[in-house]
Amino acid sequence: MPRISAEQAGGSNVCAFLDMIAVSEIGPALLANPLSDSGYRVLVGSTPAKPLFFTSYAAHPNIFNRATNSTAAGRYQLLNRYWVAYKARLGLKDFSPLSQDLIAIQQIKERRALNMILAGDFSGAVTAVSNIWASLPGAGYGQHENSLASLQAAYVAAGGVVA
């Protein structure tokens, strides 16, 4: 569950969409690991068998994983270079769970998907943001992509409504 409230996020569909992204990017097993703090402490390359976590929310951990050629971290697997830009743009003080939620919502807004989410256009919203999150269907990054059906099930399970 995201740390941002439904009121702050713009509605319960937005919170459910954030949960769906976390399920897609992190996976249910890592999200359930108490050390992951609901995914907010996960480093790229983590698996349930070999979890990788960071310990401080002071800033993005900026830990480069050679195996994945990435600095992605957090519930929404944000790259450090984007953290730097969003920190300044949104006036964030840290990489806390709330900051991570706010960045993900900003990314959704930038892809013009927020109104789709609010209207219950789940597949349209996923298509609109698929270039941000590699695990979404149609992302095209050569990584594992989850099916739209499984992600919609996660979204509905989190309280999202599909029109």
- Residue 104 pLDDT greater than 90, yes or no: yes
User: Average pLDDT, whole number, for the chain?
Assistant: 96
Instruction: Give the ranges where 44-121 is alpha helix by DSSP (H).
Output: 80-90, 97-110, 114-119
Please check whether residue 129 is in contact with residue 113, taking contact to mean a CB–CB distance below 8 angstroms: yes
Average pLDDT over residues 60-84: 96
Please check whether residue 65 is in contact with residue 71, taking contact to mean a CB–CB distance below 8 angstroms: yes
Q: Domains of the chain, with CATH numbers?
A: 6-157 (1.10.530.10)
What does the pLDDT read at residue 112?
97
Cβ neighbours, 10 Å, residue 44? 20
pLDDT band, residue 142 (cuts 50/70/90): confident
pLDDT band, residue 141 (cuts 50/70/90): confident
Separation CA 4–CA 75 (nearest Å): 13
Instruction: Indicate if 25 belongs to the active site.
Output: yes
What does the pLDDT read at residue 140?
82
Catalytic residue among 7, 25, 110, 145: 25
